[in-house]
Amino acid sequence: MSTSTWQRVLLYAILCGVGFILLTPFAWLLSTALKSESADLFAYPPQWIPDPVVWSNFVKAWNILPFMRYIFNTFYIAIATVLLNLFFCSLTGYALARMHFRGRQFIFYCILATTMVPFQVLLIPLFIVTLKLGLVDTHAGVILPVAVNAFGIFLLRQAFTTIPKDLEEAARIDGCNEFTIYSRIMLPLIKPALATQAAFTFVAQWNDFLWPLVVLKSRELYTLQLGLASLQGVFGVNWRYISAASVIALVPTVLFFLFTQRFFTQGLTSGAVKE
Amino acid sequence: MHGRYTPFFFVGPGLLLLGIFFAYPLLDTLWLSLHRYNIFTAPVFIGFDNFRRAWGDELFWRVLANTLLYAAIVVPALVVLSFFMALLLDNSLRLIKIFRTLYYIPVVTSIVVAGIIWKWLYNSDGLINAVLKGYGIIGPSWLADARGVPEAFLGLFGIQTESVWFTEPAIALFSVAMVTIWKAAPYYMIIYLAGLQGIPIALKEAARIDGAGGWQVIRHVIIPTIKPYTLVVSIIATIAALRTFGEVYVMTGGGPFHRTNLLSYYIYTLGFKYLEVGYAAAVSVFLLAIILIFAIINFRLAGGDNTTGGA
């Protein structure tokens, strides 16, 4: 069907309208972050384009909070989680997809069932476990509880099931052992699924708030999100600095998303519903 | 074939981690709910006292009502909005990929940043009230107003009411719910979009939003076809709504007068602020029970396992 010109114009108009509603909050955040000390934040009508545009709020926010440290901590936690998560989830997913053993179905359904239990229900006992393991106020304490997750196992298992059996048998005839087949032959074949899981895990860890809030006590161990949340107290109600700091925290996630976005849509749409 | 024990070397590490950080804490929640415990002294077995306490705890009922009310606002809104957004994005316009990407940005925004942004927008002299002022409406203090939404709405027309039926949801709870909807709608939109793209082209083309004819197709063809996706969206959205924490922590701290206090936040404050670990565990058991009830209802409605992507 060929869409007529006026239909296209109408569609674009609606698309822009919805986009405007969704993205206006970000525009207002940026506008506030760029306003000078003398500009009235509550001016009526609202002043969208700051006059003058100043960058000093970013400098101020950067100097008051140890941003470099927070960014480093967050990066470190996110990368370590991604690596461990890919390893454990792919190992488990591989066995569930391609090996035959007693209890396989049972284990698979148990893992699926875990998605029904929200993290919040486990919050306090999980903290107690972490405490007993001596991991409270450590980055390992933030990472280990999310080093494996049901969604990841499920996603990678689905990817492993699609690989033809012949490949595996050819490798076995060549004398490869099971671990070599998994690591050298199978893993490279599910790269798209691994990338999806990596992208999801990275953003989830970068943005995570509740668990780091509970585990981390020392400020020098804080993640970006914890630092940002603690800002509200530091700056009182100076919305210029808070906005600038929020922009600093937001930009890396948005950039990361823009470069990896196809993995996000793939992950969301693979396996959610079986036709 | 692989050796008899080889599979267990593969599933072992993952299961061990799930055991330590999932299964054990889950059982521990049940165990703790039967004890009085403050982390520092040994737990004392008290039977079902924590559950009895919840029964008589007015704040618990307040929080439970808030949570259910909140889900009742958020879930239908998300199902409807994300469906129509997906419909809007399901075409082959040249720039459509750009819109799909831009729409998704609220999803990858952290809850802390989202909370800060909206707290600022909701400021009693903030952007939203400035816009309303343009229409001659004096907006409320969105995150601090305990009046009911219907009550306040009637008030705009000069109608005063004392009836308890108009006191829910509080304006503040409604405001928090809007943030959740804004942040989550594009997520479910992508799930719906996948569903729409699975519908044969001929049907979809007839369904372009171009007036009454299109609406008939949406109603009688697309909505029935997309039903499995609606069930997935509603179950994920329900579980997500029932566990909401960040919005409350960053924007309201549960106030005013506990009108935005939700179960997850209540559990957090009980456990980590008041060290009422046993009681917090009992409330967690309630939360788990509610979620399981909703999950079972949803699966029943789905009629079997066609929505789990099962084995």
Which of A125, A122, A200 is closest to A156 using CA atoms? A200
Which residue in B235, B256, B261 sits closest to B69, CA to CA? B261
How far is Cα B193 from Cα B186, in angstroms, rounded to an integer? 10
CB B183 within 8 A of CB B114: yes
A22–B106 C-beta distance less than 8 A: yes
Query: Under a CB-based contact definition with an 8 Å cutoff, are residues A116 and B292 in contact?
Result: yes
Residues in chain A closer than 8 A to B295 (CB atoms): 116
How do residues A216-226 score in pLDDT, each as one tens digit? 999 999 999 99
pLDDT in tens, chain B (311 residues): 567 788 889 999 999 999 999 999 999 999 999 999 988 888 889 989 999 999 999 999 999 999 999 999 999 999 999 999 999 998 888 888 899 999 999 999 999 999 999 999 999 889 999 999 989 888 899 998 888 898 888 888 888 877 777 888 999 999 999 999 999 999 999 999 988 888 887 766 665 555 546 677 788 888 888 888 998 898 889 989 999 999 999 999 998 999 999 999 999 999 999 999 999 999 999 999 998 888 888 777 765 444 443 33
CA-based nearest residue in chain A for residue B12: A92
% of residues, chain A, pLDDT over 90: 50
8 Å CB contact of B120 and A29: yes
> Rounded distance, CA B71 to CA B143, Å?
18
A153 band by pLDDT with thresholds 50, 70 and 90: very high
Model pLDDT, residue B2 = 67
Nearest to A273 among B99, B232, B285 (CB): B232
Write the residue in B2, B14, B228 that is nearest to A178 by C-beta.
Answer: B2
Give the pLDDT score at B283: 95
- Mean pLDDT in chain A? 88
Residue A270 binned pLDDT confidence (cut-offs 50, 70, 90)? low
Q: pTM for this structure? A: 0.90
**Cβ–Cβ pairs < 8 A, chains A and B:** 280
Q: Which residues in chain A are contacts of B208 at CB distance < 8 A?
A: 1, 3, 7
Query: What is the rounded average pLDDT of the residues A43-48?
Result: 83
Test the A interface: residue of B34, B41, B93, B113 with most A CBs within 10 Å: B113
Q: Where in chain B is the domain with CATH 1.10.3720.10?
A: 66-252
Q: What pLDDT is attached to residue B213?
A: 61
Cross-chain residue pair A28–B25, CB shorter than 8 Å: no
Contact across the interface for A116 and B291, Cβ inside 8 Å: yes
pLDDT at A272 over 50: no
Average pLDDT over residues A34-59: 86
- Contacting residues for B172 by C-beta, under 8 A, at least 6 apart: B142, B143, B144, B145, B146, B252, B255, B256, B259, B260
For residue B59, the one-letter residue type is: L
Mean pLDDT value across residues A95-113: 89
Peptide bond connecting B256 to the previous residue in cis, omega within 30 degrees of 0: yes
What per-residue confidence (pLDDT) applies to B1? 57
pLDDT at A233: 67
> Which of the residues B29, B39, B99, B117 would you substitute to probe the A interface, choosing the one with the greatest number of A C-beta atoms within 10 Å?
B117
Is residue B7 less than 8 Å (CB to CB) from chain A?
A: yes
Question: What's the confidence (pLDDT) of residue B306?
Answer: 45
Q: Minimal Cα–Cα distance from B129 to chain A, Å?
A: 10
Domains and CATH numbers, chain A: 5-54 (no CATH), 67-269 (1.10.3720.10)
Contact B249 A153 (CB under 8 A): no
Which residues in B lie closer than 8 A to residue A215 (C-beta atoms)?
none
**Which chain A residue has the Cα nearest residue B191?**
A269
Contact across the interface for B288 and A121, Cβ inside 8 Å: yes
Question: A40-46, long-range: CB within 8 Å, 24+ apart, which pairs?
Answer: A41/A239, A41/A240, A42/B125, A42/B126, A42/B130, A44/B130, A44/B133, A45/B130, A45/B134, A46/B127, A46/B130, A46/B131
For the segment A116-152, what is each residue's pLDDT rounded down to a tens digit? 888 889 999 999 999 999 999 999 999 999 999 998 9
Distance from CA of A225 to the nearest CA of B (A): 6
A60 confidence band (pLDDT: 50, 70, 90):
confident
Question: Do B105 and A254 lie within an 8 Å CB cutoff?
Answer: yes
Predicted pLDDT at A20: 94
Q: Rounded to the nearest 10 degrees, how much is the dihedral formed by the CA atoms of B222, B226, B230, B232?
A: -170
> Is B2–A268 a contact, with Cβ atoms under 8 angstroms apart?
no
Distance from CA of A61 to the nearest CA of B (A): 14
CB contact under 8 A, A207 and B110: yes
Q: Do B239 and A44 touch (CB under 8 A)?
A: no
B271·A114 Cβ contact <8 A: no
For the ranges A181-190, A257-266, B18-27, the lowest mean pLDDT is seen at A257-266
Residues 26-65, chain B, touching A (beta carbon < 8 A): 26, 28-29, 32, 39
What residue of A is the nearest CA neighbor of B250?
A229
What's the CA dihedral at B212, B216, B217, B218 to 10 degrees?
90
CA separation for the pair A121, B174 (Å, rounded): 24
Q: Return the residue in B1, B5, B10, B270 with the most chain A beta carbons within 10 A, the one to mutate for interface testing.
A: B10
Mutate to test the interface with A, among B1, B110, B261 (most CBs of A within 10 A): B110
Shortest Cα–Cα distance, A53 to chain B (Å): 19
Q: Which among A44, A203, A249 has CB closest to B130?
A: A44
**Phi, psi at A36, each rounded to 5°:** -80, 165
**CATH code for residues B66-252:** 1.10.3720.10
Give the per-residue pLDDT at A275: 35
